[in-house]
Homo-oligomer: A and B are copies of this chain.
């Protein structure tokens, strides 16, 4: 049985309250309209995913793929009512094609494995919901898109902010000119990596904080502008002396310029104590969101002004739950044969920018 820690208990309680309306609704949805999904890789993000599937009205956990079929596989199978015969290892994964209860997979592996398992899932005829970053290179992204297109399956990248009401509202305000003509974005997302893990290994992660944290800012700004950056300036630095950052940078800052003349400054770090924020300045107004990018117990707060006056508001990321609305959207796309809001092409465009950013950092690599 899964031991509830204080934190997971609190979070579950909050999610349960927040999802009351969805739970009532889910009872009216026929089970044949639920998409069967299997997560690949059962780390912490997959745990969030599994809880979210449990709260969604149109998705159901019907399989598990893990390198630890006994310790992890059986534990989660029992928690979520998955048949033992639907627990796969990386070796037996390809036989998932014969499991008709599994319509789709959720790729929650280290970044360097996203490409391989997305392609293998597509070849097994399964739709793919792949966590961000999509892969560790734009070339991998292209292969993933091609494989899914060839197999006729959906490919969605896990950009949860596209399903967050606060971000959807600000996106609408930006696009409708509520802040006038937009001149500038600033964003930062900082965290601390106190011990060695796969994210600090370039071969597995693709790069440092840019791949895990900076990509939130990059993707949000690309989404809000509706443009692709054309001019890139970047600088990286590592102040840590403990030897954790031998393979990837600790901190990376970049400047982007878009064709319209919009500028953006983005920073991310694995060694900084700092807030995570997004600021948008226009000719007639501005807004700041802080916190902006964290999940969990986060309550997003925004403050600014428009021509019509002061602007302020907030929204908890668990009400509605970003992950639940994201899973629901993906399942709807599968059920209705619709294009996801954040298809593979969205992940590819981010990776193309990430590659330019690292290229621009060039000689500054510490």
Contacts and interface: CB of A to CB of B under 8 A. Distances in A.
Interface of A: 179-181, 183-184, 186, 188, 190, 192, 231, 233-235, 237-239, 250-251, 253-257, 260-263, 265, 267, 269, 271-275, 279, 281-286, 288, 305, 360, 363-364, 366
A190 to B, nearest CB: 6
Contacts of A190: 184, 281
Contacts of A263: 235, 237, 251, 253, 267
A262 B239 contact: yes
Contacts of A279: 188, 274-275
Contacts of A267: 184, 186, 263, 265
A184 B261 CA distance: 26
A192 B235 CA distance: 29
Nearest to A256: B235
B271 A275 contact: no
Interface centre among A254, A255, A260 (most CB of B within 10 A): A255
A305 B273 contact: yes
Contacts of A180: 273
A234 B255 contact: yes
Contact of A235 (B181, B255, B260, B363): B255
A237 B251 CA distance: 25
- Copies of this chain held together in the complex: 2
B231 A235 contact: yes
B261 A286 contact: no
A281 B192 CA distance: 12
Nearest to A288: B275
Contacts of A233: 233-235, 255, 360, 364
Contact of A274 (B251, B254, B286): B286
B282 A272 contact: yes
Contacts of A253: 184, 255, 263, 265
Given A275-B288, A286-B275, A288-B275, A183 B269 contact: yes
Contact of A237 (B262, B265, B284, B363): B262
Interface centre among A186, A231, A250 (most CB of B within 10 A): A186
Given A233-B255, A235-B256, A251-B263, 7 more contacts: A183-B239, A184-B267, A184-B269, A192-B283, A233-B364, A239-B261, A239-B283
Contacts of A261: 237-239, 366
A260 B305 CA distance: 38
A235 B255 CA distance: 7
Contact of A272 (B184, B237, B274, B360): B184
A256 B181 CA distance: 28
A323 B36 CA distance: 68
23 contacts: A183-B272, A184-B190, A184-B253, A184-B269, A186-B186, A186-B188, A231-B363, A233-B233, A233-B234, A233-B360, A233-B364, A235-B255, A235-B263, A237-B257, A251-B263, A253-B255, A265-B265, A265-B267, A272-B281, A272-B282, A272-B283, A273-B281, A274-B281
A253 B263 CA distance: 8
A288 B276 CA distance: 12
Contacts of A363: 231
B231 A364 contact: yes
A254 B305 CA distance: 25
A286 B262 contact: no
